[in-house]
Structure 1
């Protein structure tokens, strides 16, 4: 069993914002895999699919970004998932819009959703797939920037990055994060 947790904030007001790119990837995966719909479970929107005989869970925490770990922790406890079997997909200010980076583990890097996951899973040893959203070009605070929609000139990079992120998730399921890192880290924008 494996799980993909996309980070974001619930509700229409946040639907297309930079902070919700993790939700966007999970939605694209669900569409790609033909899932049977999300249901309310584990303080999130949850779905289960079978890929090549393997159960794969999709989760979009509905606890807001800063408490994402509560939903992921509840799912992990229920299914007895090791942190290494939970791939977290989220936004990264330090990567240019559209760029991807995988990691096998690590600190939160200041991301509050990841801080919550580390606290609730009791470990930093879960794989991550970060999607670049870039930094604000003005002196705008990061907290307001991440809650804005992508600019039209960013949209083409973001749509391609979401599709490429889905490819990376599928590669993780088949071959692991090292292969994802070899293929997607350090390259050009998606």
Structure 2
């Protein structure tokens, strides 16, 4: 069958045909070669008609961004996906994996705790101020003016400071040295 022959069918048949080929452990590139067309042509054709490729399967994305499974798989011991029905104005089938299912179950188990946090947040007093203390280096110099000076230092101390500056390359050496001197002065000048 060629791509032009396949395009003469309705979109659900086209999607089923391509999904069947993908389920037969064929890549979209191989399917495209068999149909005598480029992979991007197939992808663009299906995307324009509201289909998206999820887990090697083209799935229709509805008007309300609800996901509807066109070619649903049955649950088996080797298949880690499950079909569930979501009830709203229309009934939609959604394919989810084990991790998502476990996350939803975990959220359901902690429903009361989550509701408690949400209620606290909605009813909290906005006048209370929480000061966040951040660990790490803060450069808070009285002015940004710098001078050049020559100072003799202990070699071991300088090597340690130089190694320290290498760890924190986001700061320049001049600012780190100035902050170190300021902190020393504030600590011992009493």
TM norm structure 1: 0.23
The structure with the larger Rg is 2
TM norm structure 2: 0.23
